[in-house]
Amino acid sequence: MVEIISRRDGPRREDAEIKQLIERNRSVITRIADHISGGAYSANKTANPPTQKAEGLIIHHVGSGSASSAEALPYIRISLNGRVVVVDRNTGRQIHYLGEIRRKNGVEVFVLATKENGFISPLDETFTDALSDFDGRTLESKYTEEKLAEEISSALGITT
């Protein structure tokens, strides 16, 4: 026996029920949105959209040349959420993701971005070999994030 399952035409029953629920409570939803936004929700709905067209506009790219022509100036940055990355000082773009600082048993530990540590996109072998000594290193009052960044820079040959 073969059972063919095909998509029905029209919305699903659950979708239709939710739409009806929203329509029945539209006035309450509008009142709450106006309360939260200070009346801006209804004002935006009734305001006429701008009629300015994009024709004839001249767009200028303001910058210091193209990013690809300048040589990258890498440095190690540890973000507020604990990500340890190599960043280009010229563009602010991430070049390599090295790992992160995680809290384990109340202690902050640097975890290298390897497959063994559960990272989906692990570092290549050149970085792993150079930074393997840092994997699992604990951070404390004497060994701060700044000190970790300095030592990683030194191990990778990055001058600041």
Indicate the domain borders of the chain: 13-45, 74-156
Q: Which residue has the higher pLDDT, 59 or 41?
A: 41
Running DSSP on this structure, what letter comes out for residue 50?
A: P
Three-class DSSP category at 56: coil
CA angle at 25 for the pair 22 and 29, rounded to the nearest 5°:
90
Structure confidence by residue, pLDDT tens digits, 84-108: 999 988 888 899 999 999 998 889 9
Tens of pLDDT along 1-46? Answer: 666 666 666 677 788 888 899 999 999 989 998 888 888 888 887 7
